[in-house]
Amino acid sequence: MAEKSKIITLDNGLRIITQKVEGAKTCSLGAWVASGSGYETPETSGFSHFIEHILFRGTHTRSALDIAVEMDEIGGVLNAYTAKEMTCFYAHTLSEHATKALDIICDMLMNPKLDKKDIELEKGVIKEEIALYNDSPEDLCADTFYKSIWSESMLGSNILGTEETVDSVTKEKLEAHMKKFYVPERTVISIGGNFDEETVLDICKKYFSGMVNTDFPLNPDKAEYFPGITTVKRKFMQNQLVIGFPGIPLGDKRREDTLLISTILGSASSSRLFQHLREKLGLVYSVDSFSVSYLKSGVFALSMGLNEKSEKQAIRETLKIISEFSKTVTEKELSRAKEQAVAGFVMDLESISARASRNGRNLLLYGKVISEDDVIRNIRSVTLDNIRTTADDIFDFTKISLCVAGKTKSKKTYKEILDI
């Protein structure tokens, strides 16, 4: 059974959140830093992601091989990811090796070598990643969609950056980025599972107490949403498309509404879109709906993979389902969606890694950890009237966006299909 989480704040503002899990034999831990593509500029696009990569190239006391060997010697997992509003470095180990894993992550963050030869090597690796990304219909379509709806904000930029910005990276530029963003007030250390609390706190204090708070809180500008039609021609075997509307930001009280609307529409095998488009009409191979929320912005979207010949009918059937949703959604569908949402949330927290990740992300973005009981209570308290009102607010067809990647038609044709 998990204990209540504890938050320790160092004098410089860095926060450490711990949560012991009784009987656990492993420990999950990591650092969550408010550095992501949404905070960058056109000139520094992709720098957050580059730093995520380069920190694995070694510190002043450990080489890249040392880091890999030390983690393998304890049978642990060490990885990282970059998102639009954060970068995360995390590890999962047996409990007796938690301090070693934490020491490695802290060393990577505070003593990176940033060797110029390593930087040049990493440029090649990341440019290959960009090339692979552009060969993926799903990734390319999603990235182009975000770029089109948030065209005047870095929130719409590619997390990887561009080949030009990757080529422009220097040691001095990376150091400047880390000096600005890798600061106490924008960093959270999260540790969950079974571990010695006193020891892990000592390690954190050893590495992070000397950091200086720069009074740089998380306060991004709201990204203005631009509706429209965007196409990307590629010789893919199957087209990928995204239909989107303005969504809601983090902290909005309607987040549970949008979660449940998404579940009813397309996030489950019993969902309306899956059953109608795939199972009944056979128009799509895949279909999904999702609500993405950031600190000041959000989007609600539907994505599908399909043959180009099926596009017109699939889009029109989708728009019909969306337009009728608020008037036809039922208590039975809402009840089923609630059970799916609650079950998914509770089952996810059976994982120590998911629990530590949730704590770190919540504390970084919300400034607090929303209790599990409150999350479940909020989901179960959503009413049919809530769903209908929120759906009417979101599905504003004057703000609809469409992005298609593959063997695309003309924008005029898509405009006619959308009837706008």
Q: Where are the alpha helices (H) located in 23-170, listed in sequence order?
A: 47-54, 64-73, 98-110, 116-134, 137-149, 163-167
Q: How far apart are CA 298 and CA 246, in angstroms?
A: 6
The region that residue 364 occupies, defined by phi over 0 for left and psi between -120 and 50 for alpha, beta otherwise, is: alpha
Backbone angles phi, psi at 19, to 5 degrees: -150, 110
Q: How far apart are CA 106 and CA 318, in angstroms?
A: 48
Please say if 224 is a catalytic residue: no
Q: How far apart are CA 298 and CA 222, in angstroms?
A: 9
Residues contacting 202, CB < 8 A, separation 6+ = none
Bridge partners of 81? 88
* Residue position matching structure tokens 């079950």: 343
**Structural contact between residues 184 and 211, judged by C-beta atoms closer than 8 angstroms:** yes
**Structural contact between residues 246 and 224, judged by C-beta atoms closer than 8 angstroms:** no
3-state secondary structure (DSSP) of residue 287 = strand
Active-site residue, selected from the candidate residues 3, 22, 40, 52: 52
Q: Which helix (H) or strand (E) holds 27?
A: strand 26-33
Q: Angle at the Cα of 92 (from 86 to 95), degrees rounded to 5? A: 135
Show which residues are catalytic.
52
